[in-house]
């Protein structure tokens, strides 16, 4: 049935008919940059231990994004990855 019109022939307005907004707020852009950096630095880890450290930094940014966005499980997992990547960097830098 039609929404708010009482006309059974009028289609209902749904969320599917709303225009899609491609605007992103600053927090979303921050998250996109953090996760993109994680991907790039992870792919480059075999080239230098410094890319492992850069990956750890990107994980820390991803963790901050998770907490700021309200997805605290994501923030915790990324914080753990930060510790693991830092440990891997220390091991690779020594040996």
| pLDDT of the residue at 65 | 97
In the structure encoding, which two tokens stand for residue 9, read together?
């022939």
Report the alpha-carbon distance of residue 62 to residue 51 in Å, rounded. Answer: 16
Report the alpha-carbon distance of residue 60 to residue 77 in Å, rounded. Answer: 10
| pLDDT of the residue at 17 | 67
Which stretches of the chain drop beneath a pLDDT of 50? 2
End-to-end CA distance of the chain: 71
At 52, give phi and psi (nearest 5°): -65, -45
Sorted by where each begins, the domain ranges of the chain are 23-94
């Amino acid at each position: 049935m039609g929404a708010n019109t009482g006309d059974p022939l009028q289609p209902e307005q749904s969320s599917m008919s709303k225009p899609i907004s491609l605007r992103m707020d600053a927090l979303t852009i921050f998250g996109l940059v953090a996760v993109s950096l994680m991907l790039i630095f992870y792919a480059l880890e075999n080239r230098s231990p410094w890319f492992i450290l850069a990956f750890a930094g990107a994980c820390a940014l991803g963790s901050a994004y998770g907490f700021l966005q309200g997805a605290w499980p994501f923030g915790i997992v990324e914080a753990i990855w930060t510790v693991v990547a830092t440990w891997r960097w220390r091991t690779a830098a020594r040996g």
